[in-house]
Structure 1
Amino acid sequence: MWFATGNGLCRYDGNTFKTFSADFQTSKSGSCIKEDLYGRIWYENFDGYLYYVEKGKLKTLTQTASAGYFPYGIINNKLFAIKSGNLYIYNLKTLKAEKKISLEYSELGTTFCDGTTFFILGKTLNEFNEQGRKTTTSLPQNTKNFEAPVLQGSAEGLIIASKYSNIYHLYKNGVFTKKKLPFSANFIQNIASIENKHWLCTTKGVFRLNTKTNEYKAFFKRDNISYVFMDNQKNYWVSTITEGLFFIENFDTKLYELTPRPIVFAASGSNLFIGSEKDELWKMDLYTDAISPIYKGNSNHSINQLTYDSKNNQFFFTSSKFKNLKGNLRYELKVSIKDISRIDSKYCSYAATGISGIFGVNNNEKSEWDAVFNKNKALTKPNFNQAYLLKNHNGKSTAYNPANKTIYYATNNGLIAYSLKGSKEIKYNNKSIYLTKLKYFNSLLYAVSSNEKVYTIDRFNNVKPYVFPKSILIPKMLQNEKFGRIDLENNSLFLFSDQAIYEVNLVTNRFRKIINLTQDIEITDLALINNIIYLASAKGIIVKEVNRYKAPIQPQLSINGLLAGEKSFSPDSIPTLSYNQNDIKINFSLLSFIPNEKYDVYYKINDSKWNPLDPDNRSLILSSLSPGKYTVSLKIGPENKKLTVQEIEFIIKKPFWLNPIVVILASALFIFLLFSYYKKQIQKIEKRNQMQLDKINLEKNLNQSKLKAVKSQMNPHFFYNALNTIQSYILSNDKKQAVNYLSKFSNLTRTILEMTEKEAITVSEEVKTLRLYLDIEKARFEDDFEYEITVKDNVDSENIKIPSMLLQPYVENAVKHGLLHKEGKKLLQISFEKINDDLKISIDDNGIGRKKSAELNAVKNKNHRSFATNAIQNRVDLLNQFTQKNITFSYIDKISADDQPEGTTVIFTIPITQ
């Protein structure tokens, strides 16, 4: 189907729309769609320029300047178009203008082509045949009726109507016949002639007119209709100005508009009873189609359950309340009854919110359910002569199976079967099953579940998934279709899906689609009466005759083109593709004559097996195909019918590197690269091994440096001095001092030994060790030696770590070489401070200074080399290399104003690590 829209020329295949437009169009809106002998689709925009679609692309006809919008015409191989005050006749095979006919301005009014003659209506009526020969006919004297004319061909002749007048003319063989429309047309926009009937499209609906009998019928009176078209399957398509596109299978289908909208039906004899969305009951006389009111409530709620008791001529229905109507409203109870099913002439079962059971409709009858009723009869209000069989259950639906004398209730707690002997839950695969609707037919219950699956329950309470009878030929996809609702009318099971309503005749096993469902068509209930189906829709009651249903029509599959990489090709002009054009997309259409139909599509490549495609897909994507020749086949349905198979062929070239010479060179290059790679990997391994060796040496040197630091703390001279001090305390009988000194000495010794096992220690541990050491050294001095250790508040001494055995040698140097030889008060100050992300440690003494200390050491030992000047520097370098950190230290020699040494300050800067 092709449509001219405000966005340009549009194609519809029954499922998807595709719009064709291009930058070279002067405007996109247009009309007058025609197909030529070569399969091209033509249309004219309202600027008067012609465009056509060929092989999936929009093209333009080479044409002169436009004279305005005048509909073109096609007669066999010729195209007639008015351009610049001339009539051009083009050869459709060559698309070249073969003839130019000059026209007078007075001749230009409007145009029309009926396939054999091209008409130009102006002050006269001019007719041109295929060769361009002209025949002129004078118009009737009263040409006022030709104002803003609309032309259309028909079997009776050319129809000439006016957009503004109810008068029209029939023209045939040079004779005009004046006629009057039997209705008042506000504004005629178009005329379509279909099967000897003429459709006048107006701003207030469309009128079907028989020009011979002058009989007419109006449709869509509320809509602005632009055109009516009938396809090859005799389906009607009605385009509108504001409401889109209408699809009508048969115009003899009736629509009875009803406000408020109908929701549920109940039928009896020649009457159809209707429950509305506004708590109203109506009656439709099926002989006269007259609709009359029965009851009008004031709750403004939809009637969602309606049951008619024909024997007692009464209604039971539920809107906001449960009501009984027999002539007048008998009672109105606050009970939400969802479903009612007849048991016998006396009782009905009911399913309601909170409670379900049975109720009596005729107390004069006798029933085998009397004992059950009397045992469970409700004595409290509300009372509508009911018995409570199920309590604390939310009933959704109920049905009675006379074959096993059992009432079934679909509830929120599962499916409950209630027989004369009592109740039990019916399960499916040993699990509770949750149903929303129950229907009975011929000893079977049909049910639909909350997950939209259909089941059957037999007289032995066996639950099985519903399977379409094997004799029914249906699309495979329907076997797994979800059905939200079911209904059972006479012998027919109706299945409601999101897309359509289907009917299965349970006696003849005949299957057919009743109606397609779209956003504009919402069906809430149906009734089947005397081979006529009544549908409750948002627009009113739709009436369809069963014998007018059309047999399913197999759609056609059409391959539109192939997309390889960035380039697109038509199916019959695919060149040999390069190796890198191996990502293929094949676009196709399913030409379905019914909107929104879904069909199974299968494909195969060369001689492989048939594979299914997603029913919603309209393209086949083949990725990373190898070089070679391909035949891709597409078809509808699993059956192998040759007529439905469409094929497309293409070849993908091999890449240039698969040439033998290229392969040999590539192989040699590969071997060379492999050898180079192997050699490079060996070098990497050697380098990695060397790095491991260097790391081991680094660790060895670091450990040796740490050992030297330990030795500097635990040298024999230190031990000798410490033991002498202890001895002096013992000899002086100062036991307390001896024990205290000995305890500190042992703690220091143990602490230093423990540090040898650690790479780093916390600041608090370092401070503890320094205090032990300095307390021991302090005993060697008189009372003139003092020390201070300060940890600033911004230093987290319990978490910040420094390398072990790093500070002690510097402290030892300060004591041994700086303070020991100083006369007077001796002071050592050690401080820890956090600056940004670094820990600053300063060791400050007021000793004799490095220069004088070096002179004294030179006198005592000419070969002396300070540990602080070599081993410590070496250890710091090793630590920086091993930990990838930047530990720095520096000396500050303090000098007095008269150039005398006043001590030394050593400053460490250590990046903080937790």
Structure 2
Amino acid sequence: MKSKFLPFILLLFAVQFWAQQPVTIQLTEKDGLPDIEFYDVLEDKNGFVWLAADKGLFRYDGKTFLNFSHPQKRGLSVFGLFEDAEGRIWCNTISGQFFYIKNGKMTLFTDLKDELKGQLPEFEVIQNQLIAFSEKGVFVIDVATKKQNVIKDTSSASPYYGYPFHYKNQLYFTFDNQIKIFENKKIKSVFTFSNKRIQTTNNAFCNLNNGIFFSSNFEGKQHFFIKNDTSNSFKECSVPKELVNKVIVNVIKSDDLLWFCTNQGVMVCTISGDKIAYKATYLKDEYITKIIKDKNNNYWFTSLRNGVFVMPNIYIQKEDFNGISNQIATLCNVESNYLVYGTTDGKIGFWDKKNNKWTQFSLDSNAKVAQILYNPTFKSIFISQDNQSYIWNLNRNEIHKVSFFVSSKSISISANNDLLNASYDRATVMKNPFETVKIGTGKLVIQIPRFVEKKGLEIKNDIRFKRAYASFYSSKYNANYVGFVDELMQFDTQNNSFTIRNNNKPILALDIQETSDGTIWVATFNDGIIGIQNQKVVAVLGTNNGLLSNQINKLKSSHNELWIATDKGVQCYNTKDKTFKNLTRNDGLESYTISDIEIIDNTIFLSSNKGIYSIDRAKGFKKLLQPSVYFTSVSIQEKDTILQLNYELDYDQNAIKFSFNTNGFQSNESIQYQYKMQGLNTNWLTLEKGNDFVRYSSLPAGNYTFSVKAINANGIASSPISTSIIVQAPFWQKWWFYFSVIAGVITLSWMYFKVRLQRIEKEKKIALEKAEMDKELVFSQLENLRSQMNPHFIFNALNSIQEYIVTNEKETASAFLVKFSRLIRIYLEHSRLSEVPLEEELKALQLYLELEKDRFEDTLQYSIHVAKDLDLKNSKVPSLFIQPYVENALKHGLLHKKENRILTVSFDLSATKEMLICAIEDNGIGRTASVQLNSSRSHSHKSFATTANQRRVELINKTKKNKTTVTIEDLQDVNMNALGTKVVIAMPLT
């Protein structure tokens, strides 16, 4: 296909002016902006941005908006921001109140509601005086004493004192039809406006460094005046037509431009001497109330209806296509006069730099324009779409449709003007499709390149059949470089190949460029940028040495500069001094999806999915000041504490969190922090961008110094700030605790051995006592045995046996003898034991009473009662213990009674089931009569019950928890006559 075009005249297409606008970021509710109606903006010396709004006063620290208020404040709105020499921020309200903020607190300075009557004055704080200008005069209030003076000029019947402007130690203001100076509490006139009264609104002063600019509106139009330092009067100058009917609210001079806040946007003008020329309008639909330029060269604009706008970089501008597609896929520089671009929807556009005009037209299909390449030798443009390709011969205004470089990934001009093409399935060298045609005769002969259709784009060599991404021809090395899907290769003109590797690893190239020092720079998919000379890797650029990201989108070289588009910003690398300069979103880049880079003279063009950006090559990189970091809070155990230089913490209060910040526009996105905790580590550690705190969950005991510093986008680091922390050791790690433990161990050891010795001594004593007791118990048992085998009992028993023998009662004698022998045997067996089962004791007691009954010749009636719940086999009693009490009942109570002798012995459990109760009851003569009878005998038998048995009770009780008790009760009738005796023995069960 062949078509005719007029590309440089572009008469066939709609031509429009190429509009450029600096990128402006609007702060919204999403950013935390608390209002949409703003009146003033101020940056203080610490980098905080203050905003006076309809809803109050706010301070912005780069992340959040903090509101300041006062309980006596009437209404929400504040105006007139001002910072005095002491760093106090002043503001006022329409109701006459003046406030200042100091140490994070809003203080009411004075209230002039009665004096001002609802008028909003303008003011400044100079030399410790608040000077307010109003219709009522100039109020001068001493800040220290609050003493108030009102100064008036009586030369006008209805004066208005307004628009104070401080310039070189003089305070200018407007008055009626004059500009005056307030100095030393006196007013003097400087300039008169031809008896034309100045309006009370729409006036503005501006500092020109070497003079004063003043704008005012009277006689129904705008007037501009300039006063040079060498002149004593204001000289009127012409007003650009674009500003004649605008309401000018404020004006500043910055970057050699005049910036006018108007009701229809920001008007920017150039100024040279007294010549003012219109340049551009920004934010044309906004009512702008104030402009400032902060320390990092960001422009802040407050508006009356749509909040706050920030222009990060006036030297980065976005090209306005007026509704035409912004999806730019590729760029191409044509003769340094035209910028040609292709879009994702099949359009080709041109920018005429000289005339600042652009046009755009569509190709045959709406497929993406993949690549555009210009060959200056033959003045031809090669265009590759995803489904078609073209060669545009600009000399003959012809465009030829071809099919040899469809869907190219990269196109380069190779040796002999051949075409090096990298595509989805191969890398190809195509023959030069042009020939030179002579036109004219004699001296008028000229040579014109002409596209030869028969020869056109003949395949010269398919150098590799596999997917290729990048291509580049180096005239220095006379070699082609191709980045394939799995390797980077260099080919000479004879198609000899060489594979280039980095540390024996393949290089996966995405783009290739060459700088003036002969270095071939290769952008990789995810390994940064690799520099190659003579087939060897000589440099590697990565995030460890300044690259914003190892993922590269595009490269472009110019002399010793390498322009780099990454997924985190755009950089310029100087190959001589090996330094980076960076551009990020904070500089106005709306997108990091950069598809191409082109350079025309001193302008860098970036294409993206958001459109085309232009960057002033010399001024595009802002000179950022050194950031200043400060602590915002310190929390201990998740509780905020007072900010201080030193912290001393207990061992169990060792969880600490440090939060910090750096003031500035969107500082959380542009600032990266490094920190270290001296005592834990000596190297600086880097936080991820956006993180602004460090937490230690459990600091061990010791002395530490925590330091943090901020690093901005250009790699400039702040001075570190530090705070010291002492974490006390737990008490068990302190010297006194060790001393106490050692002393305690020694003391405990001494006490242990002392107690042990005492216990041994006590055990010895107890053993001796026990031995003595056992000895006494044995003696007691022997005594019991002797009492039970006393001569009288034995003699009586033997006499009874003898009597039975004499009376020839052999069987009775034999039975008696058997019982007697059995009893003696039981006594002898029990004498070896300290305790016997109750069952055995009952047997012995039964035998004894049977023998005694025989001796009493059947005049004795006895009975033994045993409770049913008694365990006779497992319940034990002291051996030879109960029988003596029974014997006493017989011998002392019943023996002296002639008849009806009754003896009852009972065994039962106590109520607690812990004691055995043995009751021995007789109906004898009683203890009193028995004592009298025994005392009349000269050879009376000594009673065991009152001697040995009592001694044995005492011995038994020494070894028992529950004590044995013996109680004796005299039984008597109502007339106190003896009825017998009852002995109750309570013994613990064992």
Aligned match of 1:398: 471
Corresponding position: 1:40 with 2:109: no
CA distance in 2, matches of 1:584, 1:89: 50
Deviation at 1:448, TM superposition (A): 2.2
1:317 is aligned to 383
Determine the structure 1 residue equivalent to 2:628: 556
Are residues 62 and 360 of structure 1, via their aligned partners in 2, closer, same or farther at CA, if it must alter by over 3 Å?
same
Give the structure 1 partner of residue 399 of structure 2.
329
Aligned to 2:969: none
Partner amino acid for 1:297? L
The structure 2 residue matched to 1:98, chosen from 111, 127, 147, is 147
Provide the rounded CA distance (Å) in 1 between the counterparts of 2:635 and 2:137: 42
How far, CA to CA, are the matches of 1:665 and 1:338 in structure 2? Answer: 80
**Distance 1:52-1:337 versus aligned 2 partners, 3 A rule:** farther
Q: Does 1:389 align with 2:462?
A: yes
Task: State the Cα distance separating 1:503 from its structure 2 match.
Answer: 1.8
Alignment partner of 1:72 is 2:141: no
Structure 1 residue 208 corresponds to structure 2 residue 269: yes
Partner of 2:614: 542
CA deviation after TM superposition for structure 1 residue 340, in Å: 0.5
Change (3 A) 1:629 1:415: closer
State the alpha-carbon separation in 1 of the partners of residues 361 and 260 from structure 2.
40
Change beyond 3 A, Cα 1:181–1:306 = same
Match of 1:184 in 2: 242
Q: How does 1:41-190 map to 2 (within 5 A)?
A: 41-44=89-92, 50-55=98-103, 57-64=104-111, 67=118, 69-81=120-132, 89=140, 91=142, 94=144, 97-101=146-150, 107=159, 110-114=162-166, 116=169, 121=174, 123=176, 129=182, 132-134=185-187, 140=193, 143=196, 146-154=199-207, 156-157=211-212, 159-162=214-217, 166-168=221-223, 170=225, 181-185=239-243, 186-190=246-250
Letter in 1 for 2:675: Y
Query: Counterparts in 2 of 1:633-782, with a 5 A limit?
Result: 633-635=707-709, 644-648=719-723
Residues 447 and 132 of structure 1: CA distance in aligned 2, closer, same or farther (over 3 Å) = same
Q: Encode CA deviations 1:470-528: one digit per residue, 9 max, x unaligned.
A: xxxx9956376543332223332222234432222335545434676545366543333
Partner of 1:228: 291
Say if 1:117 and 1:127, in contact at 8 Å, map to a contact too.
Answer: no
In structure 2, the CA distance between the partners of 1:167 and 1:400, relative to structure 1 (3 Å rule), is closer
Take 1:52 and 1:301, find their aligned partners in 2: how far apart are those partners?
A: 62
Are 2:429 and 1:358 equivalent residues in the alignment? yes
Q: Output the CA distance in 1 between the equivalents of 2:307 and 2:470.
A: 38
Q: Cα 1:187–1:297, aligned 2, differ >3 Å: closer, same or farther?
A: farther
Letter paired with 1:395: A
Measured after TM superposition, the shift of residue 435 of structure 1 is 3.1
Letter of the 1:275 partner, please give it.
Y
Which of 446, 449, 452 aligns to 2:524? It is 449
Aligned counterparts, 1:781-860, within 5 A: none
Amino acid at match of 1:437: D
Q: 1:246 aligns with which of 307, 310, 322?
A: 310
In the TM superposition, what whole-angstrom CA distance separates every residue of 1:284-311 from its partner, at most 9, and x where no partner exists? 565x354455865354555341100111
Q: What per-residue deviation string (whole Å, max 9, x for no partner) do you get for residues 100-150 of structure 1?
A: 538899556744342645666565769685764455899757656525233
Are residue 602 (structure 1) and residue 655 (structure 2) matched?
Answer: no
Tell me what 1:611 maps to: 684
Residue 634 and residue 507 in structure 1: after superposition, are their counterparts in 2 closer, same or farther (change >3 A)?
closer
Question: Under a length normalisation based on structure 1, what TM-score does the superposition of the two structures give?
Answer: 0.58
Change (3 A) 1:609 1:20: farther
Deviates more, 1:482-491 or 1:588-597: 588-597
Contact 2:554 2:596 in 1 (8 A): no
TM-score computed with the length of structure 2 as normaliser:
0.54
Is the partner of 2:275 in helix, strand or coil?
coil
Check 1:655–1:247 CA distance in 2 against 1; reply closer, same or farther (3 A cut). farther
The reply to whether residue 486 of structure 1 matches residue 544 of structure 2 is no
Q: Please state how far the C-alpha of 1:658 moved relative to its aligned partner.
A: 11
Deviations 1:747-798 (A, max 9, x none): xxxxxxxxxxxxxxxxxxxxxxxxxxxxxxxxxxxxxxxxxxxxxxxxxxxx
Deviations 1:643-685 (A, max 9, x none): 9243345777899999999999999999xxxxxxxxxxxxxxx
Structure 2 residue aligned with 1:218: 279
- Pair 1:124–1:506, CA change in 2 (3 A): closer
Pick the structure with greater CA Rg. Answer: 2
Contact 2:489 2:500 in 1 (8 A): yes
Contact 2:237 2:275 in 1 (8 A): no
Partner of 2:785: none
> Which segment is superposed worse, 652-661 or 551-560?
652-661
| Aligned match of 1:344 | 415
Query: Which amino acid in structure 1 is aligned with residue 207 of structure 2?
Result: S
Q: Which 5+ residue runs of structure 1 have no aligned equivalent?
A: 366-379, 469-473, 671-914
How big is the shift at 1:544?
A: 1.4
Q: Secondary structure at the match of 1:317?
A: strand
Amino acid at match of 2:279: A
Structure 2 unmatched ranges of 5 or more: 1-46, 437-452, 746-990
Q: Is the 8 A contact 1:453 1:484 kept in 2?
A: no
Alpha-carbon distance between aligned partners in 2 of 1:171 and 1:406, rounded to the nearest angstrom:
63
Please state whether the residue corresponding to 1:184 is helix, strand or coil: helix
Which amino acid letter does the alignment assign opposite residue 485 of structure 1?
K
Question: Which range moves more in the overlay, 173-182 or 487-496?
Answer: 173-182
CA spacing shift, 1:622–1:666, aligned 2, 3 Å: same
The code of the aligned residue for 1:213 comes to: D
Residue from 486, 499, 512 that aligns with 1:438: 512
Q: Is the 8 A contact 1:201 1:207 kept in 2?
A: no
C-alpha distance 520-532 of structure 1, shift in aligned 2 (>3 A) = closer
How far did 1:325 drift?
A: 0.7
Take 2:95 and 2:458, find their aligned partners in 1: how far apart are those partners?
76
Number of residues of Structure 1 aligned to a counterpart in Structure 2: 643
| C-alpha distance in structure 2 between counterparts of 1:157 and 1:483, whole Å | 49
The Cα of 1:75 is off from its aligned counterpart by: 1.0
Which residue identity is paired with 1:77?
A: N
| Contact 2:133/2:161 (<8 A) preserved | no
1:19 equivalent in structure 2: 66
Within 5 Å, give how 1:471-620 maps onto structure 2: 478=547, 482-507=551-576, 509=578, 511-513=580-582, 518=588, 520=590, 524-536=595-607, 538=610, 540=612, 542-546=614-618, 553-560=625-632, 562-564=634-636, 565-570=638-643, 583-590=655-662, 597-599=670-672, 601-605=674-678, 609-614=682-687, 616=689, 617-620=691-694
* Aligned equivalents of 2:627, 2:589: Cα separation in 1: 23
Question: Higher relative contact order at CA 8 Å, sep ≥6: structure 1 or structure 2?
Answer: 2
Decide whether aligned partners of structure 1 residues 219 and 11 sit closer, same or farther in structure 2, where only a CA change above 3 A counts: farther
